[in-house]
Each structure stands twice: as C-alpha cells, then as structure tokens.
Amino acid sequence: MNMTQICFSEIGTVIYEQKKADFSLNADEMLIRTCYSLVSAGTELAKLTGLQQVNYPFIPGNRAVGQVIEIGNSMQDFSVGDYVFAHTPHISHTKPGRFCVKVPGKMNPCHATLVGLGLVAMTVLRVARPELGDHAAVIGMGVVGNLCGQLLRNAGVEVVAIDTVEKRLEIARRCAIPHTFSANKQNIQTEIMNLTNGRGVDYVVEATGNPETIDLATSICMKQGEIILLGSPRGEYATDMVPLLNSVHLWRPHGSIQLRGAHEWRYPLYPDGYTKHSMARNAEIFFRLMESNQVHIEELITHIIPPDQAESAYDGLLNHPDQYLGVIFDWTNTSCY
C-alpha cells in the first residue's frame, strides 16, 4: 500500500515523501491510520538541528492518534474503528509499538494527541510528590512545561511559570497558572523570594533541557528543596561546578537541595501488579482530567497543519517561539487517507 511520512533527510532538512509499504500483520499486531500527530518540539528540534545525534534519514515523531483499520487474529483489547493513542511517528499508516491505549469515545482525537506530553509532565508529580500549599517554579512554558504547571496547580501547588517568551507566559496565564515571570528580568530571583516570603520555592522543574538554567534553578530553590530535570539536558555548558555542588552539599544559605530525574520511561508501560504507577494508568488519569476540563488543551494548540507543510512547522517552532507552541499534523486529508 502507499503511505506518506515526514522525514529528516539530513541535519536541517525536512521532507514529506510517499512510499510503498507492506503492512502484513502478525496475529498480535494491528494497523492504524494516523489522524493527528503532535510535534514533541524539544526532542524533534534537537534531532533536526543535530543537537541530538541520530542516523539520517530519520523519521521523527512519537505522539499520535489514529484509527484502527486492521487487526490481527489474537488481538482482543482493540477493535477495528477504535481511536488509539500510540508512540508512533509522523506517518500516515503504521503498526503501533509496545505502547497503545484507547482514546475515550467522546474525546476530540486531535486534542487527544496531547496525552503524550501529558505523560511526560505527569512524571514530575510522581517523583517529587508535592503537597498542598507548596510552591513550584517551572522553567520553560513549552507544552510540557505548561502541562506540568497545570497538573501541579491541580494538586494544590502554587505555581510560578518562567520563560523568556512573553507570549508563552500569556498562554500560561490563560491556562490559570497565576504567577508568571520573564527569565529576561535581572531581578527574577528577588521577585520569587518576595513571593515566597524569602524561602524560595519547594520545587524547581527544569522543562527546557537547557543546562544553563541550573544556575537560576539553584538560586530560587529553598533549603532542602528539589530540582527536577523534566527536559532532557542537551547542549554544552561550561561552568564552575562548585556552586552547584555546594547547593547540594552545604546547609546554608539554600543548601541540601536534591536533584531528581523525571523521565517518563522510568515506569512500566502497563500495570504489572507490583508498581502503583504505569504509563497506561497515567494516560487514563490524564484523559480523565481532559474530559473534566481540569487541564487547558485548546490554548496550547497554535497550529494544526497538513504534513506536507512540515518544513514550515519546524521552522516556526525553531525560529518563531512567540507564535508556535503546540503544532499538530492533520493527516485526515492526505492522499493516502
């Protein structure tokens, strides 16, 4: 059959191509036709620009919603016609890999693509376990950072949003994140200390992947607070490590800080009877929050575009962050649909 896909043919080059593919199914496999796929901007731009090394040509993407169009004989949990979320690339037809969950029947399939980044954001609440009345600062108001801020707010945490792009801070305010600060301001540390009565925040969530933000994170974190690395650190940062190490080792003035990793894949894909949390359980919870309007979704989607315009989408995310935030590819009108 014919299928289409988005491809990074080499560093900095995005193409949209059509290919023939054989989707013969084993008994435990199914074929889905992609409806919508969400750009995971941090990860995909890193691979497009060469900041994260991959083998080219490379097929990007891993957050998509599609409809089941064929199913293997032994598949019992899914049926033809089901809408599913899967970690599949920007491709018109594909067989989902290890992780695949049903989308609730009344949910907009386009909006459901955001559950993938919701799973990333939710990891912070699993590893940090914030409590009612705590303060948390989220550095980076991309989709992941924004969703993390919303989830923390739902947990009763006073959330501070930090970004260099004013438009993203405006979107954060529309998503009911009350405190927003521009990272461009010289007095951001003073303002956050005033907000927290001089204590600093209990948690700092680093959601950009930029290692330079560790300096800001340690300056606003309270004694015995936690810094959670939500964004995958990328790029080089040459600095004196002693201040960072002292903030972990020493007691005064803002010492004994803990560093935690919050990578979504630390949890099993499905309930295993031994671990409370799993990717599937997190997806179920996030879908429930979406259905009850406890997280803002529409405000995060700035562009829904056909995949043959992928080059402009990545250019916008890379060079115009004040205009591009959540970008979704709409596959429903492609020639292979």
**Looking at residue 1, what is its pLDDT?**
81
Residue appearing with tokens 């939500």: 230
**Looking at residue 75, what is its pLDDT?**
87
107, 172 contact by CB (below 8 A): no
List, for residues 7-41, the tens digit of each pLDDT value: 999 999 999 999 998 899 999 999 999 999 999 99
CA dist., res. 49 & res. 12, Å (int): 5
Q: Which domains does the chain have, with CATH numbers?
A: 2-114+298-330 (3.90.180.10), 117-265 (3.40.50.720)
pLDDT above 90 for 258:
yes
pLDDT above 80 for 337:
no
Q: How confident is the model at residue 314 (pLDDT cuts 50, 70, 90)?
A: very high
List, for residues 47-83, the tens digit of each pLDDT value: 999 999 899 999 999 999 999 999 999 888 999 999 9
For the chain, give the percent of residues with pLDDT over 90.
Answer: 87
**Looking at residue 235, what is its pLDDT?**
85
Amino acid of residue 83: Y
SS (H, E, C) the chain: CEEEEEEEEECCEEEEEEEECCCCCCCCCEEEEEEEEECCHHHHHHHHHCCCCCCCCECCCCCEEEEEEEECCCCCCCCCCCEEEECCCCECEECCCCCEEECCCCCCHHHHCCHHHHHHHHHHHHHHCCCCCCEEEEECCCHHHHHHHHHHHHCCCEEEEEECCHHHHHHHHHCCCCEEEECCCCCHHHHHHHHCCCCCEEEEEECCCCHHHHHHHHHHEEEEEEEEECCCCCCCCCCCCHHHHHHHHCCCCCCCCEEEECCHHHCCCCCCCCCCCCHHHHHHHHHHHHHCCCCCCHHHEEEEECHHHHHHHHHHHHHCCCCCCEEEEECCCCCCC
CA dist., res. 169 & res. 138, Å (int): 11
CA dist., res. 48 & res. 259, Å (int): 29
Amino acid of residue 260: R
Residue appearing with tokens 């009850």: 292
| Dihedrals phi, psi of 255, to nearest 5 degrees | -100, -170
pLDDT above 80 for 109:
yes
- Give the residue from 89, 79, 97, 86 showing the smallest Cα distance to 7: 89
List, for residues 272-289, the tens digit of each pLDDT value: 988 899 999 999 999 999
pLDDT above 80 for 186:
no
Q: Of 131-135, 182-186, 214-218, which range is least confident?
A: 182-186
Q: Reading across the β-sheet that carries 258-261, which strands appear in turn?
A: 179-182, 158-163, 135-139, 201-206, 221-229, 258-261
**Looking at residue 185, what is its pLDDT?**
82
CA dist., res. 136 & res. 232, Å (int): 19
pLDDT above 70 for 335:
no
**Looking at residue 334, what is its pLDDT?**
79
CA dist., res. 258 & res. 249, Å (int): 9
Mean predicted lDDT score pLDDT of the chain: 94
Mean pLDDT of 153-172: 97
Amino acid of residue 263: H
pLDDT above 70 for 336:
no
